[in-house]
Structure 1
């Protein structure tokens, strides 16, 4: 089993991914845990952590081997949260400016909701819901970053280039998010054409986020910066801090997320490219002056 996983990383990753997304889809579409008092599809994330633990045992890897390093925790968390705060400050500003230009009265609300591409979400108030939101989003980033940027990326990079590994895990991460528009299609909230458009758009957006968090992994040497940025996006920007108007809640959430993610993607890409360029220049200098 160990040799198969390590020697055929693409096939192995697809098999693991297929198991995970089947559980993810079953929970979201059949069990509908996000419609319960928990307000989250949490079973697939807990299941994913168990699968990650089992796979690491099979290949004799430690958690530190996939990015859960002991060093750099605080620094990387500050980088991730700082990046998210900058990006979402800009996106909230743009969102509010657009809404005000349309004549809306703007206010902020702190409460929990279930994310929906159609803008329909049940509101939950109370400290218990906020604490559950924080807890389940911590579980979420542990599972998704550990699986996609950790396990899938590291397995693939051992046999292929860094660029291929970044793209491969990002493609899987994008497909992972097709469950959300599929859920809306099955419920009749959207038609098939809208599902195709939203599905493609969501796969591209999630894929870019996957590339960004993969680059953060390469830049910092651990998963914590990507986890912090991922957590802020999922927990605060889409589930706790809401923009309300007289006509609804978070009517432009998707615009908010797109602006923030594209901005942070550009920032990380620029820094990553410069860091990579400086690294190559340093290596060339060492070769010329041994």
Structure 2
């Protein structure tokens, strides 16, 4: 594949490198705040809007942000394809006894109403909106002004992986499948889980970034992101009922 930086005319009010630094610093603060504040569901949408406002003010166009209406159809097509593929993989996953425990996450041991609310409202608004705007829209656009696209892809994906350090701190106790994998690792279990989640989400960031690059739209990566998270909740609902 050809990885060439997507540069376009911009009305730069802030030097490209400085603006990128501001975005990375802001993301670090938001990530920390989300895990220190007791009720921070409002923070994701507010931060997403603020990041987009800063990106536009600093000169990025809607095309550079992956949000131009001309790429809407392409983004929807790639996104729906990604959703269908993830659904097939998850279906196989819950049908196989070996992989079914991976869907038994105590955080999402929910009733039908709560699972639907989580999958279609809470996750899209509190997680996917911010992360897609942050990593596949604003950060991607910022990096593209001074780096080749392959560097943009790898850098945004690496930062996306690091973003998940704090959310993975207690994952070994919340998810039965992950807990079983690191059972017996002792004090190193937590470190192994964090390292695994960082690598896994960074690789997911590469896939999401490539979807964004090929489609020219954040909708494509958002579709994959929604499927990975929200379908995980819905298939988890089925998995919990299958085990009793």
Tell me which protein shows more strand as a share of its residues: 1
Given the two structures, how large is their TM-score scaled by the length of structure 2? 0.75
Task: Between 14-23 and 212-221, report the one with greater CA deviation.
Answer: 14-23
The structure whose Rg is larger is: 1
How far apart, in 2, do the equivalents of 1:192 and 1:48 lie? Answer: 35
Who is 1:252 aligned against?
A: none
Aligned residue for 2:106, secondary structure, equals coil
User: Are 2:52 and 1:53 equivalent residues in the alignment?
Assistant: yes
Instruction: Return the offset for 1:9.
Output: 4.9
Long gaps (5+) in structure 1: 34-40, 101-105, 107-115, 249-290
Q: Pick from 217, 234, 240: which aligns with 1:244?
A: 240
Given the two structures, how large is their TM-score scaled by the length of structure 1? 0.65
Who is 1:42 aligned against?
A: 41
Long gaps (5+) in structure 2: 1-11
Bigger relative contact order (CA 8 A; separation at least 6): 2
Q: Pick from 14, 20, 35: which aligns with 1:3?
A: 14
Who is 2:190 aligned against?
A: 195
Aligned residue for 2:169, secondary structure, equals helix
CA contact (8 A) 2:30 2:47 kept: yes
Who is 2:218 aligned against?
A: 223
How far apart, in 2, do the equivalents of 1:223 and 1:246 lie? Answer: 35
Who is 1:86 aligned against?
A: 85
Task: Between 91-100 and 219-228, report the one with greater CA deviation.
Answer: 91-100
CA contact (8 A) 2:91 2:235 kept: no
CA contact (8 A) 2:52 2:133 kept: no
How far apart, in 2, do the equivalents of 1:95 and 1:198 lie? Answer: 21
Who is 2:109 aligned against?
A: 123
